[in-house]
Amino acid sequence: MSDTAFIEIRNAAKSFGAFEVLKDINLTVDRGQIVAIIGPSGSGKSTLLRAINELDPLTSGEVWLEGVQINRKLPHRQYEKHVNQVRQDIGMVFQHFNLFPHLTVRGNITLAPKMLKGLSTDEANKLAEEQLAKVGLSEKIDEYPSRLSGGQKQRVAIARALAMRPKVMLFDEATSALDPELVEEVNLVMKQLAEEHMTMIIVTHEMDFAASVCDRVLFMDQGVVVEEGPPEVIFQSPENERTRNFLRKHLARANGQA
């Protein structure tokens, strides 16, 4: 492992049956770095992200976070304990929020800190208030998720992840399921996290957003990282033909929609 690497993915490969979704992917992310992953549908972006917290374990290769190998081969019981532990350090935000509908916003945020970190109810409530204030939803603390807009749900989901004080945040198309007018409020929260130097890996279809907050952009296609670099290079003068094609098509589609 290199000295500065905070997250390191080495020779990552993943197959579903005979179908190779990820092929020998290498990626290092430094502390505080913000990396965007872009690429066509089915290129393996979600699978790579989900490999980082063992939701979709790799077929081969290694994933390291701060000197700890996440996908260690361990006997079943020890493995379960290990992943439950390391997942506490990895926040993840999903396209469809995955809030718990039977719990209030407060319940959603306090559940894991109380269960896993032994916070008292008072401590957990304070934490929930803090995190909600951060995403601008203090007044929704006692609402059920069903009463929130999509943008509000996603901000609660972010607050819930942040309440575990993760070392890194993973976003899998956090704004893709939102009505266009609700995208900005979620982007703002993510930008704020960027300013606080949260380490983030962001799978996104929003090129403008990626260009404005990310330090690096990875373009994936058919299970490989085709090209990576700073956003100005990837978006303005990509070297690879496939990257250029993807961006051209993407731009055409985005303009077509507008």
Partner 1 sequence: MGLDFSVVPSYFGVLLLGAGWTIAITIGAGLLSFFGGIVFAVAALYGHWTIRLPMRLFGWLFMGTPLLLQLFLIYFGLIQVGIDLPAFVAGVIGLGLHFAVYNSELIQASILAVDKGQYEGARTLGLSRGQTLRRIVIPQAVQAVIPPMGNNMIALLKDSALVSVIGVMELTLASQQAISRTYRPFEFYLTAAAIYYVINLGLEAALRRIERRIQASR
Q: How far is the CB of 165 from partner 1 (least distance, A)?
A: 12
41 binds, among ligand ATP, partner 1, Mg ion, none (CB under 5 to 8 A by kind): ligand ATP
Do 103 and 157 form a contact (C-beta atoms < 8 A)?
A: no
Query: For the chain, how many residues are written?
Result: 258
Q: Which stretch binds ligand ATP (CB under 6 A): 44-52, 85-93, 145-153, 156-164?
A: 44-52
Distance CA 115, CA 112 (A): 5
Q: How far is CA 255 from the centre of its chain?
A: 26
Q: How far is the CB of 45 from Mg ion (least distance, A)?
A: 5
Residue from 5, 9, 12, 21 touching ligand ATP (CB under 6 A): that is 21
Provide the binding-site residues for partner 1, judged by CB under 8 A.
Answer: 53, 55, 80, 84-85, 87-88, 90-92, 94, 96-102, 104, 111-112, 115-116, 144, 146, 157, 160-161, 164
Closer of 92 and 203 to partner 1 (Cβ): 92
Could you tell me what percentage of the chain is helix, strand and coil, using 3-state DSSP and rounding each to the nearest 5? 45, 25, 30
Touching Mg ion, residues 37-56 (CB under 5 A): 46
Do 39 and 249 form a contact (C-beta atoms < 8 A)?
A: no
Closer of 134 and 144 to partner 1 (Cβ): 144
Contact between 46 and ligand ATP per CB under 6 A: yes
Do 235 and 247 form a contact (C-beta atoms < 8 A)?
A: yes
Distance CA 140, CA 137 (A): 6
- β 168-172/19-30 pair status: unpaired
Residue from 10, 45, 87, 216 touching ligand ATP (CB under 6 A): that is 45
Closer of 95 and 138 to ligand ATP (Cβ): 95
Distance CA 5, CA 71 (A): 17
Residues in touch with ligand ATP (CB under 6 A): 16, 21, 39, 41-47
